[in-house]
Amino acid sequence: MTYPQELHEHTYFSDPSYPINIFRIHQEPSHVGAPSLYMHWHEHFEILLMIEGRAIFHIDSKPFEAGPGDIVIVPSGALHVGYSACAGPLEYYAIVFNASLLKSNKATDSMHAVYIAPYLDGSLLFPIMHRHMDMSNALFKSVLEQVIQEFEGKHRGHELIVKSHMYILFTLLSRQFMPNQLPEKVKASHSRNVDRFKKLLLYIDSHYQEPITVEQAASIVNLNPYHFCKTFKKATGSTLIEYVNFVRMNAAERLLQDSDLTVTEIAEHIGCSNPNYFTKLFKQYKGIAPSQWRKDALRSKC
């Protein structure tokens, strides 16, 4: 579903290579019906951890009432808004992060492909509401509290610990809610298909600057183009074009951080002759324009 651009929120991340931010929302005093979260949507995931009071969050027009200890998972792209449901203090944490924080190469990481990727790309969705009285919720809450503690403490290496805990959270949620028979089916299919495409993936990694057609790619793995497109999508979770662009955007990210090349020069270097198209692609894959990515990266080093 597409929502109005005027309701689109661009969440600020201090370091674009580490796209997560945590907000502490506190209202005191509050009254029933008082806005606690204005209506908006974004490409990022958002997890709300209730601390005090009660609130009603409308997510894609469905209401969810949450109290202390409850967890609300807002899917990527969902329109959401929140109101106080109590006459007193209201406090909760909003953890906002882009899927790129946890992305891995699905083609070479089979466990990520099975347990994480389907939730990052929206093929599967976690339940939105997680009540504090549920036994499994205590574990999810403990992980989120460690994420918040590390993020707020800002000790050396906290970025890695936060990222690791978010990975743990997604894995625990996947373990709890993924359909029982799906993991083994995905794992077996993934293993067969990835072995078939290893030669091609290595070729793309070293020749991403060069154009490649479906016919050329299919010939490398000795498949006809039609069968190639179907099996490549199963193995990698993306089309050939999407996978090449994924590799190119990762290369662009490295160049933005480690070189003095202009955005136009980087676009040409990775095989995108049109700078405007490159900017559009980079925003699609990284959630931010390349020029802003570089500015934020430089700021984070200061």
Q: To the nearest whole number, what is the mean pLDDT of the chain?
A: 86
Q: In the structure, what pLDDT confidence band is assigned to residue 124 with cuts at 50, 70 and 90?
A: confident
Amino acid 145: pLDDT: 97
Q: In the structure, what pLDDT confidence band is assigned to residue 207 with cuts at 50, 70 and 90?
A: very high
SS3 20: strand
CA dist., res. 142 & res. 119, Å (int): 21
Whether pLDDT at 77 is above 90: no
Q: Which residues of 41-80 are buried (b: 16+ CB within 10 A; e: fewer)?
A: bbbbbbbbbbebbbbbbbbeeeebebbebbbbbbbbbbbb
DSSP tag of 121: T
Higher pLDDT, 13 or 61: 61
Amino acid 103: pLDDT: 78
Whether pLDDT at 184 is above 60: no
CB 114 within 8 A of CB 67: no
Give the CA angle between residues 137, 143, 149 to the nearest 5°: 130
Amino acid 263: pLDDT: 94
Dihedral pair phi/psi, residue 151, rounded to 5°: -65, -45
Could you read off the pLDDT of 268-287 as tens digits, one per residue? 999 998 999 999 888 877 77
120, HSE (Cβ side, Cα atoms, 13 Å):
24
Could you read off the pLDDT of 232-267 as tens digits, one per residue? 876 676 788 888 988 899 899 889 988 999 999 999
Two structure tokens written together for 277: 């198209």
Parallel, antiparallel, or unpaired for β 90-97 and 80-84?
A: unpaired
Two structure tokens written together for 10: 């661009």
155, HSE (Cβ side, Cα atoms, 13 Å):
8
Look up the pTM and report it.
Answer: 0.66
Distances (CA, A) of 69 to 10, 97, 129, 169, 246: 28, 20, 11, 16, 38
Average pLDDT over residues 66-74: 96
Two structure tokens written together for 163: 């990222």
Q: Would 5-177 and 189-301 be classified into the same CATH topology? A: no
Domain made up of 5-177: CATH architecture: Sandwich (2.60)
Whether pLDDT at 87 is above 70: yes
Where are the chain's structural domains?
A: 5-177, 189-301
Amino acid 212: pLDDT: 93
Higher pLDDT, 21 or 235: 21
CB 66 within 8 A of CB 48: yes
189-301 topology per CATH: Arc Repressor Mutant, subunit A (1.10.10)
